[in-house]
């Protein structure tokens, strides 16, 4: 694993988000899911039912855990080790989330950690804030961190940020075949829908378990970049504006305990308190008991106490 420099706290020259910005962020996170819930309720019994809800949940877990366990905790931070077949499985699962090729995703995320909330951070809601930033400036930077950054050409340097992965033939192949994994993630719910209700079910499975599920997961993942650097609590010194956000902790399968993660990036466990629900960590524990993963890394009690604010 590439050793990343410790973030320089003196390089930050921004303020925390204003109350108005936090309110806008809260609305931006919750309202789309409220609207989705209303849409599901209106479609219930006609274009949506328990079968399709199950397909959405299954595909969300497959692709979401692929990102959290594979792209993030395994390939980016090497917080545990596993066999080559399991690496391949995690890579394929993550690809079905349609969040980008493996090498690009890992290199971008490592760059984020190295320059968190500073000028070179690919998706910070703070780095581009001008002096005496207005409410509009803060919202604009938040939207850039949430989705606008994807439209920019950051020119992420894979040989610099992910040389370990770039030199691995299996991981390079998994990254190159990213479009195939995306198509697989769309075909699987369509096939499941076909099994439920023939051609009509295939279409609804594709729409709900495929496209809608991808949109939901993308919004949650982007919220880790934006929301979790604006709204939430800070328990540990991390040298940036990363926050623990309970909503994203649940929806993000444990990724929303973002301050914990930035304070201890190589930890396989993000929900460091008993009440911080971290589904990805529970899956890792289960896989460890089955001897499918090994050398799981977590911070000691002494390290936790040392970094407490």
Domain ranges of the chain: 14-232
**pLDDT for 170-219, tens place per residue?**
999 999 999 999 999 999 999 999 999 999 999 999 999 999 999 999 99
| Structure confidence at residue 142 as a pLDDT band (50, 70, 90) | confident
| Structure confidence at residue 22 as a pLDDT band (50, 70, 90) | low
**pLDDT for 274-305, tens place per residue?**
999 999 999 999 999 999 999 999 999 999 99
**pLDDT for 73-110, tens place per residue?**
999 999 999 999 999 999 999 999 999 999 999 999 99
Structural Rg of the chain based on CA atoms: 19
Q: What is the mean pLDDT of residues 58-80?
A: 98
Residues of the chain above pLDDT 70, percent: 88
- Examine the pLDDT at 8 and tell me if it is beyond 50: no
Closest CA to 271 of 291, 245, 302, 303: 245
Name the pTM for this structure. 0.87
CB 256 within 8 A of CB 279: no
Cα-based angle 35, 233, 259 (whole degrees, multiple of 5): 95
Residue 126 CA: distances (Å) to CA of 28, 77, 236, 238, 300: 17, 24, 19, 15, 31
Q: What's residue 156's pLDDT?
A: 81
Tallying the residues shown for the chain, one arrives at: 309
- As a 3-state breakdown, the chain gives helix, strand, coil percent values, each rounded to 5, of 65, 5, 35
> Residue 211 gets which letter from DSSP?
I
């Amino acid at each position: 694993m590439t050793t990343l420099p410790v973030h320089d706290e003196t390089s930050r020259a921004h303020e925390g988000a204003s109350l108005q910005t936090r309110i806008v962020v809260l609305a931006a996170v919750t309202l789309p899911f409220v609207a989705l819930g209303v849409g599901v309720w209106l479609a219930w019994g006609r274009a949506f039912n328990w079968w399709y809800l199950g397909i959405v949940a299954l595909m969300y877990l497959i692709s979401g855990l692929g990102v959290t366990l594979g792209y993030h905790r395994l390939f980016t931070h090497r917080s545990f080790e596993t066999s080559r077949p399991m690496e391949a499985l995690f890579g394929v699962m993550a690809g079905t989330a349609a969040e980008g090729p493996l090498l690009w995703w890992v290199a971008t995320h490592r760059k984020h950690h190295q320059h968190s909330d500073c000028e070179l951070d690919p998706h910070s809601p703070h780095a581009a804030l001008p002096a005496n930033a207005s409410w509009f400036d803060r919202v604009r930077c938040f939207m850039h961190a949430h989705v606008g950054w994807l439209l920019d050409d950051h020119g992420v340097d894979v040989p610099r940020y992910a040389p370990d992965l770039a030199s691995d033939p299996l991981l390079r192949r998994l990254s190159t075949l990213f479009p195939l994994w995306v198509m697989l993630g769309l075909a699987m719910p369509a096939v499941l829908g076909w099994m439920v209700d023939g051609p009509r079910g295939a279409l609804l499975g594709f729409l709900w378990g495929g496209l809608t599920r991808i949109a939901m997961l993308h919004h949650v993942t982007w919220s880790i970049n934006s929301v979790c650097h604006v709204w939430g609590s800070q328990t540990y010194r991390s040298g940036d504006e990363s926050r623990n956000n309970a909503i994203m902790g649940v929806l993000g399968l444990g990724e929303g305990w973002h301050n914990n993660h930035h304070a201890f990036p190589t930890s396989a466990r993000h929900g460091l308190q008993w009440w911080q629900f971290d589904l990805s960590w529970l899956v890792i524990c289960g896989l460890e008991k089955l001897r499918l993963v090994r050398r799981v890394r977590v911070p000691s009690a002494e390290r936790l106490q040392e970094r407490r604010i």
